[in-house]
Structure 1
Amino acid sequence: MNILMALSQLEVTGAEVYATQVGNTLAQRGHKVFYVSDTLNSPHQGQYFKLRFNKRSLPRRVWHVFYLIYLIFRYKIQLVHAHSRASGWSAYVACRLTNTPMITTVHGRQPVHRSRKKFHALGYHAVAVCENIARQIVRDLGVAESQVSVLRNGVDSQVFKPLAANHGAKPVIQIIGRLTGPKGQLVYQLLEQCIDLAANQVQVISGSQIDPIFDKFKTKVKFCGYSANIRQTISQADLVIGAGRVAMEALMCQKPVFAVGEANAIGLISVDNLASAMASNFGDVADGGKTELDIDYPQLAKQLRSALKQPKVDEEVYQIITEQYSLEKMTQRLLELYQSAYVYTKKREIPIIMYHRVIHNDPSQHGVYGTYVTLERLEQHFQTIQRMGLSPITFQQLDEIGLDHRFDHGKRYIILTFDDGFKDNYDLLLPLLKKYQFKAMIYAVTGTDHNRWDVEHPSKPDQRFELMSPQQLRDIDRSGYVEIGGHTVNHPKLASLSHAEQQHEIAYNKAQLESLLERPLYSFAYPYGDHNEQTKRLAKQAGYTYTVATDSGPVALHEDLQQIRRIVMFPSTTKFGLWRKIKGNYTIKKAAKPQTKNLS
């Protein structure tokens, strides 16, 4: 995907580090990432465009919107990820005008006023970096809970690894963060009231311009400026004082952290206070109506002296932080959210269409259930697919492309599926696939040589139609045009069977096919689309990455890979009917939009 990160800041912030680290991870996965911001100092892979979001006059805001629209069209942007109120407002308007998916990561408390309640400007979904922010968005702004998720800052565990403790003559205390606004006042009070500047080496790490109020400390405190390698900087510390991203990075380096932020003084991070620290983004965000920091500085000074005597991070704290703030896991969950935003904003998903038998135009071959398409009609369908510029792929190919790349600019895919493995697929479908250079999925039953499940139906028996022989299954799978998938041994309604019976039908069918084809199977189709939660678990346990149903399951494919929705083709489906079903929004119109899964 082509993704635009929109930020607004005049100095390095946690939001910038968050955006660039996520962006760099996305770029490593093959996505194109662009940035637009007032400034951008953190290392980043992707083009950067300077835009003064902090200039907020009406003419400026209009210019911001039009410039974002230009970027969206010029660079084929498929999703905008905003990281601040100023950039978010302009991005929201630009995205609405261009029908571009947008999400917002909220890094701090949101201002509450009438216009903000009416005009959230958060896009498809709001990602809060901690629980207190999520609660405030829902409570004070009236945003639906289904539109808000907690997804913590991502920290690269390959960069922020455990560091050895220092053994200097004096303890090294590092205060890391901005020196502007409330945080600047906090740092001043820490230096003035809480830290023994003679007994400790104090380093202030900040990219902010140093206010004259700090002049009095310059002979006793080292003001180090901005650090381009924060891990190397942290390596010198015995104790890190900070909040937000700084705290979690230091903890992943196993450096003790004394968390003090814009809202709370958490103290030395331990197992006992870790949950509340994480909920407040390590002191930066209060819960409820509290907005100003209220600290008993003499008491804080005592706590700091005690913290210096505990130079080791608790192992349980380290394990929780490493798990909760994993950059890889956070990026993966963001990608899932990007895909949902794209599907429901653009109203587009890969169409997966379902056929069974292919016949000549012979009424004697229609059968009782009408599960056929004539060769003439199927060729019309193929011609329509070709004219629409859709590329038929298999599930193995989708896996190789990557789910999160199925919407890459200039790519339009479709998956053709044929259930049961009828012999006519070998005789009639395969030559047609070769003619159009299309690929298809065939889901094969292995316990019979004909459609016994229909022929032996107690009240509505069908005529006999032959299935492919084992050799034909092997040959068609090796043709390069067909990928075989599993479809049970005997074609039962799986949900009506016991656990053991379901497991046998799924696992033994897979074993038979993999032995025959000498390769692993990627996908499975539920006979009749019939399944329950147990069936889904068994399909996943059997090793199937993708499992298709019929007309059930979420609209967005990635939201449940064990219940992928398909679009049924009927004998009467014309070229226009096919176009209507595969142009992109058919399943969205048929199915009510599901609630967004909470990612917390």
Structure 2
Amino acid sequence: MNILHLYENMELGGAETHILTLAKEFSQNNHKVFIGSPNGPAIELFHRNNIIHLNIDNFYDIKSTIEKVYSFCIENEIDIIHCHYFCSQLVGVIIGSVLNIPVVTTVHGVYNNENIGIFQDYFSGIIFVSEEACEKHISQIRTNNYEKAKIIHNSVEVKSNNIKKPDSLTDEKLNILYISRLDNDKFPSINFIIDALFKLAPKINWRLKILGSGNRFNDIVGKSAKVNNELAEERIQVLGAKKNVSQYIISSDVVIGVGRVILEGIQWKKPVICIGNSNYVGLIDKSKLNKISQVNFTDRNSVENLDVSSLQKDLHKIVRSDPELLKTIEQNYKEVLNKYSSNVSYSKHLEVYNNAKRLNKPTQFHNLMNDLQKSSLIGGYFKDLVYASNLDYPIYHEKQEKILMIPNFSDPLDTWKENLEQFLNSQRLLENFSLTIKIPNHLLYKSDSIIKDIEDVLFKYQANSRIADIVVDIYNLTSEGEVALINKHNVFIHTNRQQIFLMIQCKLLEISVINNIELMNRQLPEQVEN
């Protein structure tokens, strides 16, 4: 199947790595995977793995994003839209509804996310990365949607089952690797680690490499430099974000972090220590691994406080190459292989996708428009569309059924003239429909010549023109006015390739969209003679 992931970041973080790992696994199983996102440091990794990228500069430019994703889904025959985080969920729901494509979303954490409750009827699958994330959001989901929900833990690509242990400890130097975003929400953890290692310097000959970037990067560089100065040697290296993280893991003696860092370290058969902002989990064994999986491999269901002596005890086990620790490393590896490997995740996601195709059903657009009003992400032009039912427009036609055209009269390929001729040439259309021809705002300065072109067509069909109910609209419309105009009609004739968003608007407003007025003529029932 053809799968499009939508995500509004492309840094070197856990969510990006999660999506990349999943995309690679699906590609290796003969599915075609695409990623729609901004450019960013991680995008090179997607290119390297032949994942086709749709560049979306700003997800919060809803109009532009929807146009891009709509066209991309049609061109690439997308079967599943898989969205991550906030704005991508909104875009996914709208495009999935308009094109009747199943939409799946992943909730990556315990942050507040109103979209899960608002759009639950339009998601055909809702994935939580942990039991904790599920518990956080399940109260928003009605019981009739429970079958859509599934917990799938983060996973890693398990590359080998025979990783050679580094020889660095023969020099009695313990090479420690810490991997994390270096942001405010992670700062207490790295701050503790640096302070603790400084205190342990007389007892353990350690070296620390820190991988990651974020808004506290400079603070950590400064703190590390101070420690190096105090110890009169370079004990800490702050290396920033890296794409070849696995190489640093392989050359380390122990990995410290939270989240998928835990899994990455285990799959390379390294001792792994989980240290969070508040609690010390310590050296990971099989039992701890499964326990912290419930909170996305963090410290949030642990009770031991951050304590230097606990870290010292665990590091000494590694320095001594404790036989029990070596057994634990093997057990951890097998547990990751059986529960948290990318091929296990692939099977579970494939089940969700197949289930989503089964559960997917055509959207009731009036319900969707009501639900869109509840979203805090709706603003600007799109807000006018959502509240279209409250708008009025001063246009008057004799007939109840109304057709709208908004041609680009500067485009020689625009089909407005052919459609107008077909309208004038059909007695049944003339008797059943009125027609509005709106001159777009950007062409109003040419309205006299455009009206002359329209009159030339009317003149060719003089007899029928006398009974035709046609209005040429030359108002300079605001976005609100354009939505109100569209909502006054029953049918929209799209006449050029630049009208993608207009077509989407019409579908959301339950207005029929066709590209040839003659199709309407064929679909009208034959009149019964008296």
C-alpha change, 1:141 and 1:211, in structure 2 (3 Å) is: farther
2:341 maps to 1:341: no
1:444-479 superposed Cα distances (whole Å, 9 cap, x missing partner): xxxxxxxxxxxxxxxxxxxxxxxxxxxxxxxxxxxx
Alpha-carbon distance in 1 for matches of 2:177, 2:198? 11
Structure 2 residue matching 1:117: 3-state secondary structure: helix
Aligned residues of 1:191 and 1:197 also touching (Cα < 8 A): no
1:122 Cα deviation after fit: 7.5
1:302 Cα deviation after fit: 1.6
C-alpha change, 1:25 and 1:274, in structure 2 (3 Å) is: closer
In structure 2, the partner of 1:302 is: 309
In structure 1, the partner of 2:51 is: 46
In structure 1, the partner of 2:183 is: 180
In structure 2, the partner of 1:250 is: 265
Aligned residues of 2:275 and 2:281 also touching (Cα < 8 A): yes
Aligned residues of 1:110 and 1:137 also touching (Cα < 8 A): no
Letter in 2 for 1:327: S
Aligned residues of 1:204 and 1:223 also touching (Cα < 8 A): yes
Letter in 1 for 2:250: S
1:125 Cα deviation after fit: 1.1
> Which of 205, 211, 219 pairs up with 1:205?
211
Alpha-carbon distance in 2 for matches of 1:263, 1:126? 30
1:228 Cα deviation after fit: 2.5
Aligned residues of 2:283 and 2:314 also touching (Cα < 8 A): yes
In structure 2, the partner of 1:283 is: 298
Aligned residues of 2:175 and 2:206 also touching (Cα < 8 A): yes
C-alpha change, 1:295 and 1:192, in structure 2 (3 Å) is: farther
Aligned residues of 2:107 and 2:126 also touching (Cα < 8 A): yes
TM-score, normalised to structure 1, is 0.51
Alpha-carbon distance in 2 for matches of 1:224, 1:327? 28
Comparing 255-264 and 233-242, the one that deviates more = 255-264
C-alpha change, 1:13 and 1:120, in structure 2 (3 Å) is: farther
Aligned residues of 1:170 and 1:201 also touching (Cα < 8 A): yes
Gaps of 5+ in 1: 288-292, 348-600
1:51 Cα deviation after fit: 1.6
Higher helix residue share: 2
Alpha-carbon distance in 2 for matches of 1:271, 1:51? 41
1:204 Cα deviation after fit: 0.3
Structure 2 residue matching 1:281: 3-state secondary structure: coil
Aligned residues of 2:93 and 2:123 also touching (Cα < 8 A): yes
Letter in 2 for 1:138: I
Gaps of 5+ in 2: 229-234, 319-324, 363-530
Number of equivalent positions: 334
In structure 2, the partner of 1:581 is: none
Aligned residues of 2:184 and 2:216 also touching (Cα < 8 A): no
1:260 Cα deviation after fit: 2.5
Letter in 2 for 1:155: V
Alpha-carbon distance in 1 for matches of 2:278, 2:49? 30
C-alpha change, 1:304 and 1:65, in structure 2 (3 Å) is: same
Alpha-carbon distance in 1 for matches of 2:120, 2:298? 25
1:204-230 superposed Cα distances (whole Å, 9 cap, x missing partner): 011446632122313442012233232
In structure 1, the partner of 2:153 is: 152
1:301-338 superposed Cα distances (whole Å, 9 cap, x missing partner): 22111111223350333221221012112212212221
2:333 maps to 1:318: yes
Structure 2 residue matching 1:248: 3-state secondary structure: helix
C-alpha change, 1:52 and 1:146, in structure 2 (3 Å) is: same
1:96-138 superposed Cα distances (whole Å, 9 cap, x missing partner): 222111111222113055x753345872111222221122221
1:251 Cα deviation after fit: 0.9
In structure 2, the partner of 1:330 is: 345
Aligned residues of 2:104 and 2:127 also touching (Cα < 8 A): yes
Aligned residues of 1:112 and 1:140 also touching (Cα < 8 A): no
1:122-173 superposed Cα distances (whole Å, 9 cap, x missing partner): 7211122222112222135557432221112232222575341441432111
1:379-408 superposed Cα distances (whole Å, 9 cap, x missing partner): xxxxxxxxxxxxxxxxxxxxxxxxxxxxxx
RMSD of the alignment, in Å? 2.8
Structure 2 residue matching 1:308: 3-state secondary structure: helix
Alpha-carbon distance in 1 for matches of 2:155, 2:288? 21
Alpha-carbon distance in 2 for matches of 1:302, 1:163? 29
C-alpha change, 1:99 and 1:87, in structure 2 (3 Å) is: same
> Which of 211, 216, 227 pairs up with 2:223?
216
In structure 1, the partner of 2:9 is: 9
Structure 2 residue matching 1:273: 3-state secondary structure: helix
In structure 2, the partner of 1:97 is: 98
Structure 1 residue matching 2:70: 3-state secondary structure: helix
TM-score, normalised to structure 2, is 0.57
Alignment of 1:9-408 (within 5 A): 9-38=9-38, 39=40, 40-42=43-45, 43-53=48-58, 56=60, 60-111=61-112, 117-120=117-120, 123-139=123-139, 144-158=145-159, 162-165=163-166, 166-167=168-169, 168-193=171-196, 196=199, 198=201, 199-208=205-214, 211-214=217-220, 215-218=222-225, 219=228, 220-261=235-276, 265-283=280-298, 286=300, 296-297=305-306, 299=307, 301-311=308-318, 312-313=325-326, 314=328, 315-345=330-360
Q: Which has the higher contact order (CA 8 A, sep 6+)?
A: 2
C-alpha change, 1:123 and 1:337, in structure 2 (3 Å) is: same
Aligned residues of 2:279 and 2:305 also touching (Cα < 8 A): no
Comparing 153-162 and 222-231, the one that deviates more = 153-162
C-alpha change, 1:118 and 1:83, in structure 2 (3 Å) is: closer
1:563-586 superposed Cα distances (whole Å, 9 cap, x missing partner): xxxxxxxxxxxxxxxxxxxxxxxx
Alignment of 1:416-435 (within 5 A): none
1:544-578 superposed Cα distances (whole Å, 9 cap, x missing partner): xxxxxxxxxxxxxxxxxxxxxxxxxxxxxxxxxxx
Letter in 2 for 1:28: Q
Letter in 2 for 1:212: N
1:241 Cα deviation after fit: 0.9
C-alpha change, 1:247 and 1:276, in structure 2 (3 Å) is: same
Aligned residues of 2:116 and 2:140 also touching (Cα < 8 A): no
Letter in 2 for 1:332: S
C-alpha change, 1:63 and 1:188, in structure 2 (3 Å) is: farther
Alignment of 1:553-568 (within 5 A): none
C-alpha change, 1:344 and 1:318, in structure 2 (3 Å) is: same
1:20 Cα deviation after fit: 1.4
Alpha-carbon distance in 2 for matches of 1:197, 1:160? 33
Comparing 71-80 and 185-194, the one that deviates more = 185-194
Aligned residues of 2:2 and 2:32 also touching (Cα < 8 A): yes
1:10 Cα deviation after fit: 4.8
